[in-house]
Structure 1
Amino acid sequence: MENEIKNVFLIVLFSYLITFQNVAGIKRRSIDLISAHSLISDSRLPRETAPNSYVIKLQPYIEEGYFIGQVQINVSWEEESDKITLHADKNLVISEKVTVVQTSPSDESDKSLSLAFDKVPIKVIKVELEPKKPMIILHLEKSLNRGAQAEVKIPFNGTIDKNEALFRDEYIDSDEGVKKWYIASKFRPNLARKVFPCYDEPSYKTPISISVARTKDMITLSNMPVLMSEEKKDQPGWHWDHFQPSPPMSTFTLAFIVSEFHYLERNTTEEIDMGIKVWGRPDYLGSLKDVVLKTVKSMQVLREFWGTAYPLPKIDCVALPNFSTNKPGDNWGLLFFKESDLDNKKLSYVSQELAYQWLGSLATPFWWNDAHINYALNRYVTAYTTLKLNYKNESFNNWPMTMLYSIYYEFSKRYPHWKNTAIKQDSVSAKTEMIFRMLNYTLGESTFVRGLQRFMATRQFGTFFGDDIWTALTERAISDNALTEDMSVNNIAASWITKDRLPVVNATRLYDTNSVVLTQKVYLRERPHDLPDQDKLLWWIPIVLVREDRLDFQNSTPITWMKNERKVIVDNMPDNHQFIIVNPEEIGPFPVNYDGDNWNMISRFLLNNENRIKIPVNTRAKLLHDAWNLAYAGDLGFGTALNMTLFLRFEREYLAWDPIFTMIDHIGRHIDSSEVHKKFQGYIRHLLTPLYQELGPKPKKGELDGKTHLRRYSEVFLCQAGYKPCVIEAQKQYHKWMKAANPDEGNILADEYICPVFKYGTNEEWEFGLQRIINFPPSRMKNERTYLLKTLAGCPIDSYKIERLLNVTVLEENGNFTDTDINLIFSMLTGGASGYTTLFNFLEKNWDVIKIKFEKKPLLWNSLVTSATTVFKTQEGLDMVSGLYVERQGEFGTAEFVVERALKNIKEETKWSDENLPVIEKWLDNYLKENNVDLNVPSS
């Protein structure tokens, strides 16, 4: 069983890379997937009535912390009813002075009477608050028929929130040195109901007019420009800003802000015909000077992509001080950002939120169950925009490779997501994003974009279902002959999106007939491969193929499709001296395996420097990633997979190296309990040392992100493998801390130096770290202590240090360590063989004492047994756990099932080790001998 607990590698890597964002620098934001998932079962309104328009008046008393207002809704009857049901939060106070006036007759009336229809007041008998739902029901004195219309006026008041709905915050104006307030709205996804009664569902799109009161020294922004401002005589000191009516919009995209912010602008220009302003604190605007240009450039690409002009006359981007949400507010025409996000130099931070101006605001998912498609397509459009612009040579990290690697790992598990909604929603969305990318390649960019433009043209100002996108793409693809009549994007997409799995394609060459047999099956990386009904799972898979005699990586037209077929045969392949590559550039989200001869031809080709650059770096990375993971899964010999790494001695592109760092970690964890591990570390040092020496220890001015990443990763893994210069430098920096007058005030060295010292340093150095945790001052940040404890437990390979920590925390019950600390220590010890083996021996030796100590702490006991027994991967480990189980059978209590499951999994891992460790060792022996690699840790 693959160890799911973060090992020591991740700790060290985290210390290096904490400042870097996740895939492509994009955070989860906008239509948040977890929120969307929970909203699928949100309280839905009956379809008796629907809104035609809103007129909202709002007066916020910012410093006092409350607001008052009135909403006027023009309502149509969809079916006969004597009530109007609206969303309203339980904390929103609804006035008794609710009025309803019928303004139009029903469908059953004589339409010739409509123009002369006298408005008829309708008495509201009762305003009922739903006890278990965020709704109010206006009970009317009579029923109205389908087609009737009425004006509903509802006065209300409420409390200003801290983080959502209508919220306020304060900041210090550095120029004036005084505290200032701002108030803003955050209605996404269903929070408008906390501010005014409304039809708070995405499908109810209608024009909205809003008026907001402010004091004289403040300004108000909303989705639309100000129509007029006035100072009312009956409210001295108050100014009302009345905004232009919006196009049809959902309540969650409505927004406004009242503040004293200033702005930068680039009004109507040659590049784009609309007003663009960036707002913020006056003393912060200097940091935002690039944002206007980013917005202009992004809007140009997005407008061209969608083939539809931006429908609003302006857009405002606002940097909010102390904005605590983790998601920007991508309201229509008014975007709210954390200051640090808007100040970020990457174009993608702005372009992702701008993408939602079309898909999300202009065209809106009918309900939240299609939010993942909305989210996925917008992430794809963000990547498209960023790559098209290549703003200031901005690297888009290694999109899409990192995203693909993560979903490969997730969907190849025996139990994907393991009931974790957050992981499931994000991985499904990431996979959907990759399907859009695949369609862009295989249909052709022109067809793909025109299909989406067709979709937007028919759905703008309205709502859509996910299937509408696939249908529009199908119609365009068939029209352009990119698909045949018997194919549809709906079927293609469904075959990928509806399964929590991915396929692997096997390409077996028949050299005597110059053909290739292509088969598909479920890609399973974790063992055992006992997925029920896996033979029934099939996908629509595009076969894009490049051959050595025609190295054309620009043509992404499939030579055939696997149309839910288990097997296809393709003829007219090259002869037996030339390789083929299927799915180049990772066009589709699936790995590819080949026969051994084809793999070897690719490996030899990559070893030639002139040849290697003929294969694009994304494809080189794909080949490495596929080979390694297929070997790990048991579908490819490790000798072949390791041969694929040989060209890395000459490779200097970060994107090609990226998958190999994961490989080093995975194989290192899997074999670190065997004698092979020392040889593997020697190979890693030999592979990485020339790369690291060439890059140098310090970043160079103006170097690209990729080179910076490569340096940091190579340093991390060299340190992990015992590269002596790294250990010496770490000890040098660590000793400065040891000599500090008051070391408990804080560590005075970078985090990345700590783990190498705890791993390869002296007992004295490790003991110093232990004392820092014991004496940790309560005034310091708790996360500093947590990090130190993780490294103290997870880094050492010396069993003395590990046993010393266990004695102090478990047997001696040092009062400075909580149960949470002890649980963390157990978890960290699973990261390496020294850790979990020492923990097992500690449990076995002190069984009776520990059992008594933990008899009233079942969670801690289960954690100990899990960490001590489930991570072994060899026959020796199987014998150890089996022996303990037999000796203590019946005494494990709540952890009995843990050991039984562990024995089953260890048998699988032992089988893997028995089959693969001899192959890995033989390959390493040959390589190390041929290259005269010294297995002793080098001194320089």
Structure 2
Amino acid sequence: LFPCWDERHLKTTFTISVKHPANFFALTNMPLRMLDSDDIEHNFKWAHFYTTPAISTSQVSIILCNFFHVNINNYIILWYRKSFSQTKSLFYAQQVMKNISFHLEYEFGGIKIPKIDHIVIPHFSYNITTKLGFVFHSERELIYHEELGHIMNRIEIARSITRKTAHQWFGDTLGPFWSNYWLHDGLATLFGDEIVAKILNNSQLIDLFVVQSQNEGLYFDSYFDRFPLFNTVSNIESIFNFPRYKVLIFLRMYRDLITDVVFRNGLRTYLHKLTFNSTSVSEFWSILRDLTKEYSCNFISWINFDQYPVVSWKQKNLLWSVLTYNSNSSNSGWWIPIRIMRNTTLPKVIKVWLTPQVQYKYFKGIPNNDAVMFDIQHAAYYRINYESKNWRRIGYYLKSGGYKNISVINCVKLIDDACHFLMTHQLNISIFSKLTRYLSHETNFVAWYPIVKMLERISDMILYSQNDTNFMKFKVKMKELLEDSMKNIGYNEISTEDDFLKNLRRELARWACIFEVPSCMEAAKMKLEESIEYPKQHKLEPEWRKWTYCNAFKILNSTTYYSWLLVYIREFIWPKNTTKNYIEYLACMEDTAVLYETYLFFLFNDWDLHMKKLNSAKQVIIPYIKAFYAIVSKGDKNDKIIQNLLLEHDLKSKKINRVILLILIINNIYSMERYNMILNNPQLIDLFVVQSQNEGLYFDSYFDRFPLFNTVSNIESIFNFPRYKAYYRINYESKNWRRIGYYLKSGGYKNISVINCVKLIDDACHFLMTHQLNISIFSKLTRYLSHETNFVAWYPIVKMLERISDMILYSQNDTNFMKFKVMTKIISDRYYFTEELLVIS
């Protein structure tokens, strides 16, 4: 209502009345006080609302809608569109909305929220998710089907609702300044996570949330440049700073330092005293400092620093050990609380501080064979490195059953830091293997989290590392660990099992097959055969479908193929008309002869059997087109199949989309010979140059890499991946960037090569991401792309959007991000994608 006046520290009360059509509902920040008919226009009504407390103009909201509504309790209402056909899928969300408010009222009873309207909007993607009295959701965020229910789906829905709802308590009440938002959001998320664990009645959830925030925060801070939490309005929740994870860890560390009781009491005091008044973050810390004097003032300085420190433990000799820290950034003012524990004296701990004045601590009398570890309690925003001997002693202690004696958070901290040091060449594979061997007996999903995340992050690099000695060692060790773990938990689910154990089994089974554990493919084949023969008794759950089909198909060869084909396809698949369940997974087959014959067998039999029953060929051919795209994406070994299908069987005439095929070639084909065999296009040389340059400079910017010439074992290493190594960055002064942008927009891009144009955009993307180029200049430079139809020219923009996609969730309330979002909206406005491309994407 007041788009040009967003001074949050200026507050007043608002008394709102709305004249609206009688067939609509009017909603504002406060409950309805009175509803009158209009004396002049009888098809209109006047809605009069209670006066708001003192709020800023940014909070004032009015909504008109003709939605259905469900009264969750006396002051909570859920609104959704009348045409929404999945109303039952919102039952779970309703339960969460009811429970979250109950828990927050119990925790902070002194704050009275007049009402909460949960508004469910189709395709909602705006940056504002809460206002006083309102919580906004997208439909897809809340849909939950009990029969298809998955623990992670329930957790995501509950976390989304609780964090947004908690902002009613921690949002406008906790201060008027945008620079306070990091604290508001951190507290809302912190208490929201606790309530999710209570709602779902699962004690592992808090451990998972702690581990997740710590893993993601330290990972992002390791590989991306980020500013401190306190900066400028435009950097709050910036897509380039995304401090939410850091805030959560900091708040947990601070709570551990002053105790949970003191933290909660201080927060209650603050809320009761200052609700709806103009406050600042400093007043919040002042109240907590009054309750405890122990280093809390100095510890708060953490929020002023970027990145994190690395704490090291080394044994100097038989008598002395030393504890020290260094920083990944220019900051050296860290106050780090340390709790040291030894395997022989558990549960006793030694408490010390590392400070700017005391960066070294010496210890005498710790036995040479003791495993020294740190007790981080609930969080630690720093890395911990040990000397090799101590890493080995920790590994031996964990493998002998010691992991049962320390908290899962402490175990995960060891593994998480070890993964980081492995990836950055500070820990060798042998020690890493010894440290992680205990996981073969561990059935706690949380304990495996850092391993799963590491595998996900390096998965794109595995293709380039098959001939590397280091990677092969890593693969052997990981294969052994996964094989032993699957022997322990098995491949078959039991209905009474814990949801987290089921989720762990799915994750480990997926990676066991990727690392070619023999029992994995055999288990998949058995599952597939049982599901085809006895579908009622052995129904495949949606989460297991792709894993089962793909990995079962991998081990089909010319020897076993024909018997399997005759028995299972003719007796079970054709009669049930379930061909489409299998076609999309044909590309998983390793035996190219089997793949080709099966594809044609399905294709021509489907065509002959079903064409007469369908109005068009589209319903028959689309699954085969999708399968063909998957075959293209599988690599060089399928070249002959691709050529035969395109040429001999004229698959191109059956709606092969050349745009989709080009995208798949970009991502999966690495030689001009392969491209010329498949699809002749002169843009490909430009594309390969641009692709290699973009990837090489990106990897060199954000990952530690050795020089190209090092040792044989480092050639094409998963940890070095130097295939794209190349080139340099070019930066200009702001005036020249603007002049270039003007020249390109005026049509100048037609006068210079696409490679030169791409180089400009690629470097600009990098400087934007590293805070060396502002969004205004970047926008002027890229505006010419609105007239550019060459895919190669768009390549750096597309890659940048892919790389920041995981961070967008944490940037919806950031001014910079909204400018960036408006600028990039041109992509979706300009291009039309077919149904097939959306599926592939």
Query: What TM-score does the superposition give when structure 2 sets the normalisation length?
Result: 0.65
2:163 to 352, 355, 363: 352
Give the SS at the match of 1:629: helix
Q: Does 1:800 align with 2:633?
A: no
Distance 2:721 2:220 in 1: 31
Q: Tell me the CA shift for residue 581 of structure 1.
A: 1.5
Q: Tell me the CA shift for residue 470 of structure 1.
A: 4.9
Q: Tell me the CA shift for residue 289 of structure 1.
A: 5.1
Structure with bigger helix share is: 2
Q: Tell me the CA shift for residue 383 of structure 1.
A: 1.8
Residues 722-761 of structure 1 mapped to structure 2, 5 A cutoff: 722=516, 723=518, 724-725=521-522, 728=525, 729=528, 730=549, 747-749=580-582, 757-758=588-589, 760-761=590-591
1:65-124 Cα offsets, whole Å, 9 max, x none, are xxxxxxxxxxxxxxxxxxxxxxxxxxxxxxxxxxxxxxxxxxxxxxxxxxxxxxxxxxxx
1:545 to 321, 336, 340: 340
Distance 1:217 1:566 in 2: 70
Distance 1:783 1:585 in 2: 54
Distance 1:252 1:772 in 2: 60
Give the SS at the match of 2:169: coil
Q: Tell me the CA shift for residue 258 of structure 1.
A: 3.7
Give the SS at the match of 1:208: coil
Q: Tell me the CA shift for residue 213 of structure 1.
A: 3.2
Distance 1:295 1:512 in 2: 59
| CA gap 1:474/1:242 in 2 versus in 1, 3 angstroms | closer
Q: Does 1:587 align with 2:388?
A: no
Q: Tell me the CA shift for residue 846 of structure 1.
A: 8.4
Distance 2:577 2:235 in 1: 39
| CA gap 1:452/1:711 in 2 versus in 1, 3 angstroms | same
Distance 1:882 1:339 in 2: 43
Q: Which residue does the alignment assign to 1:762?
A: 592
Out of 854-863 and 631-640, give the one that drifted further: 854-863
Residues 635-646 of structure 1 mapped to structure 2, 5 A cutoff: 635-646=426-437
Kindly indicate whether the alpha-carbon contact (under 8 Å) linking 2:78 and 2:94 is maintained by their aligned counterparts in 1. Answer: yes
Q: Which residue does the alignment assign to 1:709?
A: 503
1:806-831 Cα offsets, whole Å, 9 max, x none, are 99999x997945356434433345xx
Q: Aligned AA for 1:505?
A: V
Q: Tell me the CA shift for residue 593 of structure 1.
A: 0.7
Give the SS at the match of 2:285: helix
Q: Tell me the CA shift for residue 246 of structure 1.
A: 0.8
Distance 2:624 2:127 in 1: 28
| CA gap 1:433/1:229 in 2 versus in 1, 3 angstroms | same
Q: Does 1:577 align with 2:577?
A: no
Distance 1:850 1:733 in 2: 25
Q: Aligned AA for 2:34?
A: M
Q: Which residue does the alignment assign to 2:12?
A: 206
Q: Does 1:311 align with 2:112?
A: yes
- For the aligned residue pairs, the C-alpha RMSD in angstroms reads 5.1
1:145-193 Cα offsets, whole Å, 9 max, x none, are xxxxxxxxxxxxxxxxxxxxxxxxxxxxxxxxxxxxxxxxxxxxxxx34
Residues 281-296 of structure 1 mapped to structure 2, 5 A cutoff: 288=90, 294-296=96-98
Q: Aligned AA for 1:229?
A: L
Residues 230-309 of structure 1 mapped to structure 2, 5 A cutoff: 230-253=36-59, 254-259=61-66, 261-267=68-74, 275-280=75-80, 288=90, 294-303=96-105, 305=107, 307=108, 309=110
1:672 to 458, 466, 471: 466
1:442-473 Cα offsets, whole Å, 9 max, x none, are 22222333343444345421344xxx325532
Q: Does 1:336 align with 2:155?
A: no
Residues 72-111 of structure 1 mapped to structure 2, 5 A cutoff: none
Structure with bigger strand share is: 1
Q: Which residue does the alignment assign to 2:125?
A: 325
1:689 to 480, 483, 494: 483
Give the SS at the match of 1:355: helix
Give the SS at the match of 2:11: coil
Give the number of aligned pairs.
Answer: 648
Q: Tell me the CA shift for residue 717 of structure 1.
A: 0.9
Q: Tell me the CA shift for residue 512 of structure 1.
A: 3.1
Q: Does 1:492 align with 2:268?
A: no
Give the gaps of 5 or more residues in structure 1. 1-191, 268-274, 523-533, 830-838, 902-940
Distance 2:468 2:258 in 1: 49
Q: Does 1:440 align with 2:280?
A: no
Rg larger in 1 or in 2? 1
| CA gap 1:679/1:488 in 2 versus in 1, 3 angstroms | closer
Q: Which residue does the alignment assign to 2:512?
A: 718
Q: Aligned AA for 1:462?
A: N
Residues 36-185 of structure 1 mapped to structure 2, 5 A cutoff: none
Give the SS at the match of 1:863: helix
| CA gap 1:880/1:546 in 2 versus in 1, 3 angstroms | closer
Query: What TM-score does the superposition give when structure 1 sets the normalisation length?
Result: 0.58
Residues 370-389 of structure 1 mapped to structure 2, 5 A cutoff: 370-387=180-197
1:476 to 278, 285, 288: 288
Out of 447-456 and 701-710, give the one that drifted further: 447-456
Q: Which residue does the alignment assign to 2:546?
A: none
Distance 1:770 1:378 in 2: 56
Distance 1:440 1:300 in 2: 23
Give the gaps of 5 or more residues in structure 2. 145-153, 228-233, 529-548, 555-563, 608-615, 700-707, 728-752, 764-841
Distance 1:575 1:327 in 2: 56
Q: Tell me the CA shift for residue 613 of structure 1.
A: 0.9
Kindly indicate whether the alpha-carbon contact (under 8 Å) linking 1:217 and 1:260 is maintained by their aligned counterparts in 2. Answer: no
Q: Which residue does the alignment assign to 1:428?
A: 243
Distance 2:620 2:356 in 1: 55
Q: Tell me the CA shift for residue 439 of structure 1.
A: 1.2
Kindly indicate whether the alpha-carbon contact (under 8 Å) linking 1:224 and 1:245 is maintained by their aligned counterparts in 2. Answer: yes
Q: Aligned AA for 1:429?
A: R
**Percent identity of equivalent pairs:** 17
Q: Aligned AA for 1:725?
A: E
Q: Aligned AA for 2:388?
A: G
1:596 to 383, 388, 392: 388
| CA gap 1:764/1:566 in 2 versus in 1, 3 angstroms | farther
Distance 1:206 1:504 in 2: 47
Residues 778-857 of structure 1 mapped to structure 2, 5 A cutoff: 791-796=630-635, 799-801=636-638, 816=656, 818=658, 821-828=661-668, 839=670, 842-843=671-672, 853-854=681-682
Q: Tell me the CA shift for residue 645 of structure 1.
A: 1.4
1:906-937 Cα offsets, whole Å, 9 max, x none, are xxxxxxxxxxxxxxxxxxxxxxxxxxxxxxxx
Q: Aligned AA for 1:438?
A: M
Give the SS at the match of 2:242: helix
| CA gap 1:868/1:619 in 2 versus in 1, 3 angstroms | closer
Q: Aligned AA for 1:826?
A: I
Distance 2:191 2:617 in 1: 47
Q: Tell me the CA shift for residue 643 of structure 1.
A: 0.7
Q: Does 1:612 align with 2:403?
A: yes
